[in-house]
DNA sequence: TCACGTTTTCATTAAAAACTGAAAATATCG
DNA sequence: CGATATTTTCAGTTTTTAATGAAAACGTGA
């Protein structure tokens, strides 16, 4: 059934398949990672049916994961006049992808953790000594570390790629 | 059935439960995250039975996840003479935890991704124009970005906590 | 408004991941 | 070497997560 694929499409298929596996280790749904890989390497925006066809998945699955990628701001919807289909286009700029993922993970994963740590610290702020005091301190240490990390992250993602690069180069130099 | 818990243990139980939930979002097994939270806040090293009891889980589950945490270098095994049980103790220093997790994620998640990107780039290095050339470039861009990130990460994790802090402060200042 | 192309939802099914508990293996001591 | 304490494994089960496909909802143009 398979027809002559251009050689680069061969590599692309490997990329899509493997990126999907890697995604699962990152706690990301395999299909979502595959669609992202597919769109990142798509010469043109793709519609749902094209994604279904390329990945051999159902409409519901394609739809759900495309919309999830849109919710992550990693993919945007394109429409052409005179065509009521939606086309999907992934951000390809690596620095922008990085910033987007960083922001999203901060919001979904780091900030809830910080809230938890502060809550637990608050609950034990009167512990004067012993294990209770140690627990309180541990919560504060973790909070402080994550909060500082967020601050650094915020600074970096507010930078232009070139400035961030320059700054990082200074560290390495 | 529940007896008087010291107030700090109340907060601890919330921490353990919630840290478990947060862990799943990070792609980490819930029980593993809970055990880690438990040990990070344990005044003394704990044995398998204590972990089973605290979290109400089976021996097999406790065992597997404790050993997994040891494999991550987040937990170490302690033995006392005259007692053949193994006790488990988590690293509590936030900076050390960060370094350990960073190294492990680099090894498990970033490096395989870089290998994939290089492979796909190599397969398409002769593409002279068009979509094939764009694909090749995209692979190279992603590789370059991740590799640079690894370099920065390596530099940071080779630093003492104080030096890293000072360096980051300069960025924020 | 109706017909049609498209998107969205969701009950059901399938697949993957996590967990249990008990048996087997291992280690330690007299 | 037994006897005993502890760790490790793993077949079977449960729980969770993801995927399917068909029906419903939506939106647009005639």
Q: Could you read off the pLDDT of A35-76 as tens digits, one per residue?
A: 999 999 999 999 999 999 999 999 999 999 999 999 999 999
Q: Phi-psi region for residue A136, left (φ > 0), alpha (ψ -120 to 50) or beta?
A: alpha
Q: Write down which residue in B90, B120, B147 finishes a domain.
A: B90
Domain of residue A15, residue span: 7-90
A100 and A80 belong to one structural domain: no
Question: What confidence score (pLDDT) does residue A145 get?
Answer: 97
| Domain co-membership, A109 together with A142 | yes
Q: Could you tell me if residue B102 is inside a domain?
A: yes
Residues B108 and B143 grouped into a single domain: yes
The pLDDT of B99-107, averaged and rounded, is 95
- Boundary-marking domain end, from B72, B90, B108: B90
User: Taking the C1' atom of D27, which residue's CA lies nearest?
Assistant: A84
Residue B2 falls within a domain, yes or no? no
Answer yes or no: is A1 within a domain: no
- Which residues is B172 bridged to in the sheet? none
Nearest to A171 among B134, B141, B152 (CB): B152
- Give yes or no: residues B80 and B104 share one domain: no
pLDDT at A54: 97
pLDDT of residue B2: 53
CB neighbour class for B50 (10 Å; exposed up to 12, middle 13-18, buried from 19): middle
**CA-to-CA distance for B39 and B86, rounded, in angstroms?**
14
Residues of chain B found within 8 Å of residue A19, distances taken between Cβ atoms: 113, 116
Whether B56 and B50 have beta carbons less than 8 Å apart is answered as no
- Orientation angle between helical segments B30-40 and B7-25, nearest 10 degrees: 140
A148 contacts on B by Cβ (under 8 Å): 165, 168
Domain boundary among B90, B118, B137: B90
Beta strands in chain B (DSSP E): 46-47, 75-79, 86-90
Residue A2 lies in a domain: no
Establish whether the CB of A25 is closer than 7 Å to any nucleic acid atom in strand C: no
Residue A154: partners with Cβ closer than 8 Å, 6 or more residues away: none
For chain B, what is the domain count? 2
B25-77, pLDDT tens digit by residue?
998 999 999 999 999 999 999 999 999 999 999 999 999 999 999 999 999 99
A85 DSSP assignment: E
Summarised one tens digit per residue, pLDDT across range B111-151 is 999 999 999 999 999 999 899 999 999 999 999 999 999 99
């Amino acid at each position: 059934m398979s027809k002559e694929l251009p050689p680069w499409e061969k590599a692309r298929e490997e990329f899509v398949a493997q990126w999907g596996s890697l995604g699962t280790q990152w706690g990301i749904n395999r299909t979502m990672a595959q669609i992202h890989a597919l769109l990142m390497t798509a010469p043109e925006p793709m519609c749902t049916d094209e994604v279904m066809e390329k990945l051999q998945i159902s409409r519901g699955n394609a739809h759900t994961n495309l919309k999830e990628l849109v919710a992550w701001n990693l993919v945007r919807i394109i429409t052409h006049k005179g065509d009521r289909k939606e086309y999907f286009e992934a951000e390809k700029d690596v620095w922008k992808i990085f910033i987007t993922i960083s922001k999203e993970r901060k919001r979904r994963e780091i900030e809830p953790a910080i809230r938890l740590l502060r809550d637990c610290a608050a609950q034990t702020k009167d512990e004067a000594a012993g294990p209770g005091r140690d627990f309180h301190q541990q919560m504060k240490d973790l909070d402080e570390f994550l909060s500082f990390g967020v601050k650094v992250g915020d600074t970096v993602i507010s930078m232009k790629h070139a400035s961030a690069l320059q700054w990082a180069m200074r560290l390495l130099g």
